[in-house]
Amino acid sequence: MTQVLFDYTRQDASGASRIEHAWARVPLAPPPAERAALKARAKELLARHDAVLVAHYYVDGDLQDLALETGGCVADSLEMARFGRDHAARTLVVAGVRFMGETAKILSPAKRVLMPDLEATCSLDLGCPPDEFAAFCDAHPDRKVVVYANTSAAVKARADWMVTSSCALAIVRHLHEQGHKVLWAPDKHLGRYIQEQTGADMLMWNGACIVHDEFKGLELELLRKQHPQALVLVHPEPPQAVVAQADVVGSTSQLLKAVVDGQAREYIVATDNGMFHRMRQLAPGKTLIEAPTAGKSATCKSCAHCPWMAMNATQGLTACLETGSGEIHVPEPTRSQALGCIERMLAFVAANPSAIAQPQRGFVRNLGSA
Ligand code: 13P
Ligand code: SF4
């Protein structure tokens, strides 16, 4: 049963102003000579500060390359969390959005966690204010509270489980099989997809990713007609009309793996276009086509690139290491209260690798830190 009882109507208004603010903060790409010097400086600073760079696939390609060239990782949310927790470095630099930095700090309170720009956030996080979420939970004490990783530490502090796109389906299926009803937040599209796949009783928060919400079902149908041999790869955050056309639905790592392993020559990809950097590196012979965000029904708020991910740049990386800016703090008791739902997910994933590996209407095995 799907019930959408909580309507967070302020999301568009607050989100829009913050989107403009985020784009205005995106640093200009440096000229080639300066770019090489910045990268060299970043490498030197990472080594000097015993720091490791943990980057998401959506950030600037130079940051992804720097992470891989210096022993860091480029990964999805789940792998970023595991990598940061397990790495011996005293400082983690998280190139991504704030919830990723907070998750790293919650898991590793003794490490210093820095971000190139601390204001890099996420529309799902913005759309789920802790006080209103707490009231929602209080009103439904009979449900297991399952939150997507893309939420604040304070929201996680109220949750029984945190999930990422890699393991959300397996964990909700597990809870459903145990007879639990679920309170889900904040992504309504991911929640609907999980509900369809598992049949679980889910009460949904009404949030959305401003990037993935822009993919258009009708225009995707037309594009598929022009590329009938192409495989369609979709992150689970877009609307139903887009996910329904997918050959593979999965996390960013899972979509990358689908391109690397796939037999097709052409791939239509419905996720943030920062993903194409790593896909091109690992599958150079394949043709990658962006799924449409524009068209007759478009409002084009995002054009398939996350403004907050775009705020991450090499300039910010060197600045945070030079000055100690962008440090993540998660005060107690929020940190220890939020830790429980993250550790529960990590323990489930460690104990059930096959649950995540099993194809689920196109889900493919998690790739790890590719
Ligand atoms: P992944 O965990 O699949 O990388 O997703 C994170 C995200 O923010 C997608 O928009
Ligand atoms: Fe959040 Fe969407 Fe950006 Fe991912 S792409 S960080 S879900 S706004």
pTM of the model: 0.92
User: What burial class does residue 24 get, using C-beta atoms within 10 Å of its C-beta: 0-12 exposed, 13-18 middle, 19+ buried?
Assistant: exposed
The token duo for 147 is 């939150």
150 CB near ligand 2 (under 6 Å): yes
pLDDT tens across 217-264, in order? Answer: 999 999 999 999 999 999 999 999 999 999 999 999 999 999 999 999
Ligand nearest to the CA of 187: 2
Q: What pLDDT does 368 receive?
A: 35
168 CB near ligand 2 (under 6 Å): no
List the residue whose alpha carbon is closest to atom 8 of ligand 1: 150
- Average pLDDT for the chain: 90
DSSP string for 273-284: GGGHHHHHHH-T
pLDDT tens across 41-93, in order? Answer: 999 999 999 999 999 999 999 999 999 999 999 999 999 999 999 999 999 99
Average pLDDT over residues 5-13: 41
Q: For ligand 2, what atom is nearest to the CA of residue 58? A: 5
* DSSP 8-state class, residue 326: S
Q: Supply the angle between the helices 61-69 and 32-48 in degrees, to the nearest 10.
A: 40
User: What distance in Å separates the CA atoms of residue 347 and residue 323, rounded to the nearest whole number?
Assistant: 36
List the residue whose alpha carbon is closest to atom 5 of ligand 2: 306
User: What distance in Å separates the CA atoms of residue 178 and residue 119, rounded to the nearest whole number?
Assistant: 39
List the residue whose alpha carbon is closest to atom 3 of ligand 2: 306
Q: What pLDDT does 7 receive?
A: 39
* DSSP 8-state class, residue 80: H
